[in-house]
Structure 1
Amino acid sequence: MEEEERVWSWGAGTEGQLGNCKPEDEVIPQLILQPSLSPSNISSLACGAAHVIAITSSGKVLSWGRGSSGQLGHGEFVNNSLIPKPLPSLDAYFITNASAGWSHSAFISDTGCLFTCGDGSFGQLGHGDCTSRCSPAKVSFFDNRHVTKVACGMRHSVVLLEDCSSNQVYCFGSGKRGQLGVSKDRIKSINLPEVVSGFEDVEIVYIAANGDHSAAISVDGNLYTWGRGFKGYEDANSPQRLNSTLSFTKVALGWNHALTLTAEGEVYMLGGNRLGVLSDHQSMNSEKQLHENGEIKTWGWGEHGQLGLGDTCDRTRPDTVNLRYDVNVEVSCVRVYCGSGFTFALTKP
């Protein structure tokens, strides 16, 4: 019989974010046996500070982990949920995309509607107030527009619309480090979406957010970043294009670095411990290239075991994570998702 795909998690788990029903950290990958989390049922995952969102192949939503700010969307402000629970309030919609921030969540339906819940104290929910919500509420600002992607940072949100007009990328929430990109001046916070400046003649196809950082990739492969600078470098209050001849297709933001994927399948790192600033064009290097054989390689902060290497040590060089659940069976990684101190992976034999 053909082996099924599998779900693994490791790292920080004291608030149930690992989905294994145990409120404790795990320093090595743990196989998740929750029936609702079978890979054949999962379309995508989104990992936040201490909560996780799963979208199923049928467009339904499950969430678990920390819920004290309402970010789980279960209709109540709860401390945590150790097991995945559905969001009944979204049952009438087919959800295609989701993002998890520090304490807020966002969801997009196949019809382009945006819903948000969780901590709203900085306006990051986009409803025109600073109220927290424990159930997903539709962001009425986009009622006549089609939202295709959403990315949640620590206390801000980035939205990408379907059309190619100059008003294509919007931000809302905390802007104290320039992560909103809506003005050349620093803005403390906004609670309604405002268009990001600098993209008047640029078609954006991909967005990302994390911490106090935001990023976007254009249709012609240019990478733009804005927000907090690292290691003493100045913040960027508006999108800055990376001066590079490479063509980028994806970008993932961490607290102190960014990883970018090129059209040629190479991975480059910006920032981190190498002079580190997202707008510093000289800090990019191709040292951290990934393998094509499905291995997972991790490095960086390891305090909670999130590197999956069996300890809580930091690593300055990539090391391979062992996902072998049977001594005679090797697995190949399909997808990896990183939260704040924890990791999920979907694999196949």
Structure 2
Amino acid sequence: MDSSSATALCLHSWGANSYGQLGQGHAEDVAEPRLSDTAALHRTAARQLSGGGGHTVVVTESGEVLVCGQNHKGQLGLGHTTDVSILRLCPHLSQRVTSVSCGWDFTLLLTDCGRVLSCGSNAFGQLGVGESISHSAELLVVERLKEHVLSVAAGLRHSLAVTHSGCVYQWGTGLSSHAKRALSPHPVPVHLSSKVPSLVPGLDHVTPCAVAAGSVHCVCLTGEGHLFLWGSNKHGQLSTTEPFSSSPSLLKSSLMDGERVAHVWSGWTHIVAQTVSGKVFTWGRESYGQLGRKERESAGPLVEGGSQQACHPAEVKVLCGATQIACGSEHNLAIVGGCLFSWGWNEHGMCGDGSQTDVVQPQLISSLRPLLIGCGAGHSMAMCAVKTDSRQNSVADPPVTLEQESEHLADM
């Protein structure tokens, strides 16, 4: 190896940036991938990238947490409520963090010993610490979760967790008003209205292993490769005829060619799932192209709430074999064949194509070769490894061009 070259980790970010959530030291939207200030990483590899309504959280392989962006409710966990426009190390962590999930204005961290930490707004009980605290800029332990937690998910104003023993817990009242309207005159079940973790009923016959959350819906993936869904069905995200489901209902495997599900992700109003064979299916709201199903040439006006067809999972063939997928509120990123794709809502440039026009099918957006991707509600992130010339202390030109990587698309 040439001793004059080395590998550097670079974080690229783009999209909404009103609070400095792109980590670029300013607060202007960016419509194409641009380098963030990654001095705080110290060449440490990132494990996960995540974002909320206006904040960003990076979890490193060493278990540290870096944050930037909106902080008015303390969602950065820095001990204060001042916005930050470059990545800062989250202090006072006595445990290694393994994963993160960001809600609109709150953050959930999962540690290597299975504890859940939360910070930010607690206006809806989404921190899981009861109602006596309105918000917290300090990381709080969700004490009611006594068991080892495997997975956490933050929705708009509610939270989910699945434990080692296969129990799923829910807290935060973000779904309660929808439930009250749909279920009246019957009472709202406890798990939809609790401000501390409450056991979700109806999953005792399966082995839950992961959870995901939308704005007002919930998703549970089981070890058997099945999906259970509950909450609002306004945009067909439950793939049923009921407007609201208070308890988990099984998604028919026939809707995904009878295959087991390996991974699932959720935006605010749509769901993306990948089967064990690598096929990727989408369903739910399609108003911004977030399902990635429509061809540009034939796409007419997108109807609010989506169509009847959008209520059922359909395969997006160009995404088959994706190694990573990330969902924002209404946009998405994917890594396919080492290339970066995006689609969906693009008002703030979060699809990264230099425009603010919604993207209705997955498109190759950059010559970046990402190692890791993540989304906030309206912004996007990609961690890349690039070679540097130590003699000039500069980043070398990317070895692969957009044109070289795009030829295979014509055959998909």
* Aligned-pair CA distance for 1:76: 1.6
What is the match of residue 333 of structure 1?
370
Aligned to 2:92, the other structure's residue is in SS state helix
Q: Distance in 2 between matches of 1:38 and 1:250?
A: 31
Deviation at 1:189, TM superposition (A): 2.8
- 8 Å CA contact 1:89–1:135 kept in 2: the answer is no
Q: Quote the sequence identity (%).
A: 30
SS in 2 for 1:268: strand
In structure 2, the CA distance between the partners of 1:280 and 1:89, relative to structure 1 (3 Å rule), is farther
CA shift, 1:115, in A, is 1.2
- Aligned ranges for residues 288-327 of structure 1 at < 5 Å? 288-290=317-319, 292-322=336-366, 324=367
In 2, the alpha carbon distance for the partners of 1:83 and 1:272 equals 33
**Rounded Cα–Cα distance in structure 1 between residues aligned with 2:187 and 2:266:** 23
**Root-mean-square deviation (Å):** 2.5
- Alignment of 1:285 with 2:314, yes or no, is yes
User: Aligned residue for 1:342?
Assistant: 379
Q: Is 2:273 aligned against 1:260?
A: yes
CA separation of 1:280/1:201 partners in 2, compared to 1, >3 Å: closer, same or farther? farther
Whether the 8 Å CA contact 2:49–2:372 is kept in 1: the answer is no
Amino acid at match of 2:144: F
One-letter code of the match for 1:195? L
Q: Tell me: CA distance 1:83–1:294, structure 2 relative to 1, closer, same or farther (3 Å).
A: same
- For 1:116, the aligned partner's letter is S
| 1:59 aligned residue (44, 59, 63) | 63
Alignment of 1:197-212 (within 5 A): 197-212=201-216
Q: Does structure 2 retain, via aligned residues, the 8 Å contact 1:11–1:342?
A: yes
1:274-308 deviation per Cα after TM superposition (whole angstroms, max 9, x unaligned):
8978x999611112532642122212111000000
Matches within 5 A, 1:203-282: 203-231=207-235, 234-244=243-253, 245-273=258-286
Aligned counterpart in structure 2 of residue 68 of structure 1, from 68, 72, 84? 72
Matched residue of 2:315: which SS? coil
- TM-score when scaled to structure 1? 0.88
Q: Tell me how many residue pairs correspond in the alignment.
A: 332
CA–CA separation in structure 2 for the residues paired with 1:254 and 1:39: 30
Note the alpha carbon deviations across 1:180-226, whole angstroms, 9 max, x for none: xxxx9535631111011110111011111131121111111001111
Q: Which residue of 2 aligns with 1:170?
A: 169
Which shows bigger deviation, 292-301 or 60-69?
Answer: 292-301
- Show structure 1 runs of 5+ residues with no match: 325-330
State the partner residue of 1:14.
Answer: 18
- Return 296-305 or 186-195, whichever deviates more: 186-195
Which of 42, 47, 54 lines up with 2:46 in the alignment? 42
1:124 aligns with 126
Q: Using the alignment, how far apart are the partners of 1:281 and 1:321 within structure 2?
A: 25
1:69–1:104 Cα contact (<8 Å) kept: yes
Q: Residue 241 and residue 281 in structure 1: after superposition, are their counterparts in 2 closer, same or farther (change >3 A)?
A: farther
Partner of 1:114: 116
Deviation at 1:178, TM superposition (A): 4.9
1:28 to 17, 29, 32: 32
Preserved contact between residue 10 and residue 36 of structure 2 (Cα < 8 Å):
yes
Q: Could you tell me which residue of structure 1 aligns to residue 142 of structure 2?
A: 139
In our comparison, the structure showing a higher alpha carbon Rg is 2
CA separation in 2, counterparts of 1:254 and 1:320? 20
SS at match of 1:14: coil
Secondary structure of 1:289's aligned partner: helix
**Separation (CA, whole Å) in 1 of partners of 2:120 and 2:159:** 12
Deviates more, 1:3-12 or 1:184-193: 184-193
Distance, in Å, in 1 between the alignment partners of 2:212 and 2:60 is 22
**CA distance 1:280–1:106, shift in 2 (3 Å):** farther
CA distance in 2, matches of 1:71, 1:25: 21
Aligned equivalents of 1:126, 1:311: Cα separation in 2 = 39
Letter in 1 for 2:248: P
Which SS does the other structure have where 1:36 is aligned? helix
CA distance in structure 1 between the partners assigned to 2:316 and 2:142 by the alignment? 41
Amino acid at match of 1:243: K
Task: Evaluate the alpha carbon distance shift between residue 68 and residue 190 of structure 1 in structure 2; reply closer, same or farther with a 3 A threshold.
Answer: same
The answer to whether the 8 A contact 2:24-2:86 is kept is yes
Distance 1:87 1:96 in 2: 14
Separation (CA, whole Å) in 2 of partners of 1:308 and 1:220: 36
Q: CA deviation at 1:40?
A: 3.6
Cα distance, 1:111 vs structure 2: 1.4
Deviation at 1:32, TM superposition (A): 2.1
